[in-house]
Amino acid sequence: MRLIESLATTEPLAELFSDESILRAMLTFETALARAEARVGVIPHAAAEAIESSAAAADFNMPELARDTFRAGTPGIPLVKALTERVRSMNEEAARFVHWGATSQDVADTALILLLRQAQHVLELDHTRLGNALAKMSREHRGTVMLGRTLLQAAPPITLGLKAAGWLAAVRRCWTRLSRAFSETLILQFGGASGTLAALGNKGTEISRALAEELGLAYPDAPWHTHRDRLANFVAACGVLTGSLAKMARDIALLMQSEVGEAAEAGGDGRGSSSTMPHKQNPIACSLTLAAAHQMPGLVASFLSAMIQEHERGVGGWQSEWPTVVAVVQGSGLALSSMAEAAEGLTIDESRMRANIASTRGNIFAERVMMLLGLTLGRDVAYGILEQASQKSMAEKRGLFEILAEMPEITAILSPETLREMDRPEDYLGSANEFRKRLTSPEED
């Protein structure tokens, strides 16, 4: 992994999209094409064997390929040239059949698809880790009360179990969409010069089917050189997933604030430390996830703008896609991995959660009192009374229920005993646990 990428990807994804890995994917296409054409009888089997024997990634000069790609405007042209030279040194006759009937975009697109198939496995591992950790958190903290917070202000209580269930359900929904997008994207690209495979005569579709089988990819109805909707849908799904992960990251980072102190990421071994403040435990996993999310909208928009590709082969739009798609996948993977780490190691301070509830002096239960009074006085009248009582509570730094107990209009309706029992957070959770179960599924309890 390059230093400049160290905060933008994970080690498995950095390796997956390394120069050597990309080269292997392109060579996989070329060797599979040769095997498919030999199966169909279009090229000699000896030629396919020579092409496959010459396609070792380690034998290629990567810096030279990169320079030549810049001059050619596509990696396919210098790759085919270099591969042909290697085949020729082994079998002069076989060299004639390298890249037979294909075009440079076929190589690049299919190589990208092969890499995305591997990326799906990498991302799925971290998705599973995250899902397991959040399901456990929701289950173990189904009765852990904490402040609800609306517009960053204290609101009636919720449970940590419900909050974790909300994170989990959103991630699951996003993963379902992304899995569907992966399935639609893992499809062969093979169309030749103009997307007709005319160079292969009447063997084009037969070779295409054989090539798809060789690579384990879906076979499309037709080549899709300038139809980028499948990839666009995939990129957008990655963006939505990263946004949902960033929502979780933002919540956790806010819970980690010194003034809140209700949660903390795992530390140790330099994770989350400060270069000058030894006392700090920074939200690093959250920071990396949020950093990925900040970049994602621009990346998604960049891909969408590149969809406007001319006729049968585009100018500029297609050439912009590789780095965009790679950055999107790496950002999504970084966010998934980071939030899996955060969820697995998150420390919860339940006593601090209760202390923060108590610090509101009962004002978060004003709604509860208002609803009871509203049965007699009407909601608007009850709201006005509670608004004045809450303002007095905050101004005088006294408990809301102490203020209410001094108000005749309140005590005429609610007894002192009733008032004393109304500030228990466990008694004002409504359907929190039912919602939690529905979000996680009852089987997980």
CA angle 274, 277, 282 (to 5 degrees): 40
Q: How far is CA 134 from CA 46, 164, 264, 434, in A?
A: 55, 6, 15, 17
Nearest-angstrom CA–CA distance, 135 and 123: 18
CB-CB contact of 223 with 313 (8 Å):
no
Which single residue is written with the structure tokens 């001094």? 406
Question: Which residues, listed in sequence order, are joined to residue 149 by a DSSP beta bridge?
Answer: 154
Within a 10 A sphere around the Cβ of 90, how many other Cβ atoms?
A: 13
3-state DSSP assignment of residue 348? strand
Q: Is the dihedral of CA 64, 65, 69, 70 positive or negative?
A: negative
Instruction: Report how far residue 58's alpha carbon sits from residue 18's, in angstroms, rounded to the nearest whole number.
Output: 13
Can you read off the two tokens belonging to residue 256? 């980690």
- List, by residue number, the catalytic residues: 274, 313
8 A C-beta contact, residue 320 and residue 302 = yes
